[in-house]
Structure 1
Amino acid sequence: LKEHGGVSKSGTIVLSITTEDGRVWKAKTFADCSYEGDLMAQAGVHYTVGREGMEVYHEDLAGVRVDTPKHQFLWKISPLDEKGKLMPEVDPSPMGENGAGDKKVQAYNFRMILTDSPDNKLPWTKPEGYDASNFALLAKYLGEWKQHIHREPTFRDVMNPVMIPNHEADFNNNGAFSSDYIGKSWTYPDAGYAERQKIWDDHLLYTKSFLWFLASDPRVPKQLQAEVNSWGRAKDEFLDTDGWPNQLYIREGRRMVGMYVMKQADLQTDRTKPDSIAMGSYNSDSHNIQRVAMPDGGVRNEGDVQVSVKPYEIAFGTILPKKEETANLLVPVCLSASHVAYSSVRMEPQYMMLGQAAGVTAAMAVQGKTAVQEIDVKALQKRLREQKAILHIDQEESGE
């Protein structure tokens, strides 16, 4: 989308969008299926960024999470170096009061595809701009590991590999200091294109540097270093970006405030919806949001939420802007949900299901010459069921 002036509207109707290459795209109905939600924002749809406080939607998982045991430092460790200076990758700001809202965003990272096949792996190389001092806290943490855990650290202690075919694995964040670039995603949602590119590039340099540190730094325990060097980027993955992923993992950005705001209760107690258009079941999962120096002299990660849920239904209103704002736009990715609810619904399978519902809704709105908010929900659900969508818990449990 053109960064400024990319949306042409008449009243509540989006008439066309203009892309950066100057092309103009006219349509009767639009769907913003992006991670960033720029079309939604330029169309004048109300949205939010960051975390609501506990009081906003009466969510006990909302806001700052003082007690975050997962992906946490496993013992008290000082964030200060030998000169008493705060180490890099630690925020000097206070954590905030438990349950308080803020505008901070959970960590992004790059999901790596690595291989341990000698014929298919690329060796780790020192990236341009590498600064080993950025990993002083990690070096200190790994150096104290055996003393506290009574074994050497392994690759699984600093990343989470999930095996896939052909001697490859999807490596994600794991532990206190990993591939999540904590605290560096906060401005991304509302940033301009140039700033977003810089944030993206900084995340890529961090990822390359993190892996090079593990593979080469003499402070890394030898057993862990040997294990890291037994893996490498797969030659047959991401061919156009030298084996590095071509998509930054935007876990959360803008969130629409639409016809229905999905909340913690919708995952836990109010799990059925008469206007359901899809279902979710992934646990509430927000990654850490900040890493802070504590008054007690230690360092803590904050923001992680991991709470299991049962299957729940997703209301049609979560992908609909308010009609008085825009009548021919659907938003199935930056959907209308609190930070807590988004932590579960933010998974690609749900985006696919909601995207399917958005596509059918768009077609019905065009055919019926009506606002997307006014289509017949029962008729929409009938079409989705014909396409094998699972919309209700009783339907899921019965296997129908």
Structure 2
Amino acid sequence: MDRRVPSRRNFLQATAGGLVVSASLASADTQAAETAQATRVVNPLSGDVLQTQAELSADAQHLIEEQRSIPVVGKTDVLVCGGGPAGIAAALAAARAGATVQLIEVAGCLGGVWTAGLLTKILDAENKSGIMPELLNRFAAQGSSVAKQTDGTVYDPEIAKLVLEELCVEAGVKIRLHTRLVGAVTDSNRRVVAVLTESKSGREAWLAERFVDCSGDGDLAAHAGCRFELGVGQDCECQPMSMMALLTGIDADAVRPYIRETASSAKRLLLKLMEEHGMTPSYRAPTLRHLHSGVFSLMTNHEYGVSAFDANAISESTIRARREIHDLVNGLRRIGGVWKDIAVVATAEQIGIREGRRIRGRYQITANDLATGLKHEQSVCTAKFPIDVHALNAHGNKEINREFKKGGHQPYDIPYPALVAEDVDGLLLAGRCISGDFIAHSSYRVTGNSVPMGEAAGLAAAVSIQKQLMPHELKWSEIKS
């Protein structure tokens, strides 16, 4: 889908510095002021806020917000949007290369799908160098015997939270949690110069020399006006979302055949057990993992047809997914025997989103690249994870859709230009929002690839500042040297 249609975008011209601000930044607050009351100044100690003045339209469908001054609260060399696997690596790489770095994350912890999403398994990490093995070593060293046996690829989310915070603090990264990006500002040369956020501290502006979009859904790039693609086909059909959960009350030895790390047959055995006792999980390959002591993770949920950009739909799917998890666990408990004490410890704070925007970069990774095993002179890493398109709907109760695998797959390179936004300058991409088609995305989206992508983008951001060049003006050989 080409989002660069002038008639679909309205722009407001700011008076200072010739900045072009997307109209999407002018989101109205929830109250319309009936009288021109005195505006308070934001004060985090007293709790005072910057009040909004607005008029309600005659049809009561819109609020017309009055112009207001947004405080600039930070200025760094590099700003990273999103503190998930890609964002952590980007922030660490940029900071270790000498840049000042601001990391902005919407959740209350770092790690994204690793922590807030309770993923517990890192895929396609074993063949990577740099920050990825460093993280795995820390997860294993501070983790359980299971973490050690799996070289950190099966990990405890709480350990991951602590490790990621420690590393970022040690590197001097400035961390802001509980903060959502809501806009981006470009200058007259289409260079990103600022982002806007909302949080308990109100609406704030952040300036930087370079920006890295590690939001997963390409939020920063979209606000900056970048073109993007979404899903597959005319209906932009996307892969389903999944909610993860942590469980307790079972003994690892007693349920060993059902634990994924025991054998690939574990998923089929668990599905058979569920179906024999009247349970029909929406994900047809239920996955049980042992993390440590009596704690396990479970993935047995699919939420079909949910847009990553529809808060109502995500809310409904989150409620539905959590209900399904509890129903399935209650069903397992009713079986008795080794399952009689099974219980839910926690469900994920954030439902797992497999697919959002794929931002237009200066190279697009394609299904043909996977089929031919792309070897690229500007490779930042090699991806080995197979084409993995989860079933796009519930028809046939399939685990994955195999029709997308017909073209074949070989290990392939992820080129640096796929991490560089095409439509604006000063913006790099990392994680599942990089430039690629639907089939390629289903392979490179896993977090073992997100980390080296983030590391490359963060390093590129820092080096481009040092060389006083835009990221697209550099080759990867000039950056990594």
TM-score by length of 1: 0.61
Structure 1: 5+ residue stretches without partners:
53-100, 119-140, 174-178, 235-242, 293-298, 383-400
| Aligned equivalent of 1:316 | 416
**Counterpart pick for 1:165 among 285, 288, 292:** 292
Partner of 1:262: 365
Deviations along 1:49-74, whole A, 9 cap, x unmatched?
A: 1115xxxxxxxxxxxxxxxxxxxxxx
Q: 1:233 corresponds to which residue?
A: 344
1:221: Cα distance to partner? 11
Other-structure match for 1:4: 25
- CA distance 1:304–1:313, change in 2 (3 Å): same
Distance 1:302 1:233 in 2: 24
Unaligned runs of 5+ in 2: 1-21, 27-182, 252-270
Structure 1 pair 142–32 and aligned structure 2 pair: CA distance change class (3 A): same
Which of structures 1 and 2 has the larger relative contact order (alpha carbons within 8 angstroms, sep 6+)? Answer: 1
- Structure 1 segment 287-302 matched on structure 2, within 5 A: 287-292=390-395, 299=396, 301=398
Q: Which residue of 2 aligns with 1:381?
A: 480
The aligned runs of 1:195-344 (5 Å cut-off) are 195-196=310-311, 198-216=312-330, 223=335, 230-234=341-345, 243-292=346-395, 299=396, 301=398, 304-305=401-402, 309-322=409-422, 325-333=423-431, 334-344=433-443
What does 1:359-398 correspond to in 2, within 5 Å? 359-382=458-481
Mapped partners of 2:239, 2:230: distance in 1: 11
Cα offsets for 1:363-396 (capped at 9, x unmatched):
01111111110113212233xxxxxxxxxxxxxx
Normalised by the length of structure 2, the TM-score is 0.52
Name the amino acid aligned to 2:288: P
Give the match's secondary structure for 2:185: strand
Identical positions, percent: 21
Q: CA deviation at 1:22?
A: 1.6
Residue 288 (structure 1) shift: 1.4
SS of the aligned residue for 1:321 comes to: coil
- CA shift, 1:286, in A, is 1.5
* Separation (CA, whole Å) in 1 of partners of 2:337 and 2:240: 28
The 5 A counterparts of 1:115-194 are 115-116=248-249, 159-173=286-300, 179-183=301-305, 185=306, 187-188=307-308, 191=309
Secondary structure, counterpart of 2:457 in structure 1:
helix
Partner Cα distance (2:355, 2:464) in 1: 28
Shift of 1:311: 2.8
* Distance in structure 1 (CA, Å) of the matches to 2:273 and 2:322: 21
Alignment of 1:31 with 2:208, yes or no, is no
Q: Return the alpha-carbon distance in structure 2 between the equivalents of residues 226 and 336 of structure 1.
A: 50
Q: How far apart are 1:216 and its partner, in Å?
A: 4.8
Following the alignment from structure 1 to structure 2, what is the Cα–Cα distance between the partners of residues 247 and 13?
32
Q: Which amino acid aligns with 1:206?
A: R
CA RMSD of aligned residues (A): 3.3
What do residues 96-144 of structure 1 show as CA deviations (whole Å, max 9, x unaligned)? xxxxx541111001122222359xxxxxxxxxxxxxxxxxxxxxx9999
CA distance in 1, matches of 2:284, 2:302: 14
Any idea what SS the aligned residue of 2:374 has?
coil
Q: Aligned in 2, Cα 1:228/1:251: closer, same or farther, shift over 3 Å?
A: farther
Q: Please state how far the C-alpha of 1:258 moved relative to its aligned partner.
A: 1.5
Instruction: Specify the code of the residue in structure 2 equivalent to 1:213.
Output: D
Distance 2:458 2:372 in 1: 29
1:83 equivalent in structure 2: none
Letter of the 2:302 counterpart: D
Q: For the residues of structure 2 that align with 1:316 and 1:18, how far apart are their CA atoms?
A: 27
C-alpha distance 113-215 of structure 1, shift in aligned 2 (>3 A): closer
- Compute the displacement of 1:4 (Å): 2.3
Distance in 1, matches of 2:339 and 2:315, equals: 23
Per-residue deviation, residues 176-230 of structure 1 (Å, max 9, x unmatched): xxx11122x2x32xx3xxx42x33322221122213333457xx9953x776653
Alignment deviations for residues 315-352 of structure 1 (CA, whole Å, 9 cap, x no partner): 11111111xx2110011121001110000100112111
Partner of 2:191: 13
Letter in 1 for 2:238: V
Measure how far apart 1:312 and its partner are: 2.0
Q: Are the counterparts in 1 of residues 241 and 354 from structure 2 also a CA contact under 8 Å? A: yes
For residues 293 and 248 of structure 2, the distance between their equivalents in structure 1, rounded to whole angstroms, comes to: 8
> Which amino acid in the other structure matches residue 7 of structure 1?
A
8 Å Cα contact 1:106/1:303 also seen in 2:
no
Instruction: Supply the distance in 1 between the matched residues of 2:302 and 2:23 (Cα, whole angstroms).
Output: 30
For residue 160 of structure 1, what is the amino acid of its counterpart? T
Give distance in 2, aligned partners of 1:339 and 1:182. 17
Comparing 7-16 and 162-171, the one that deviates more: 162-171
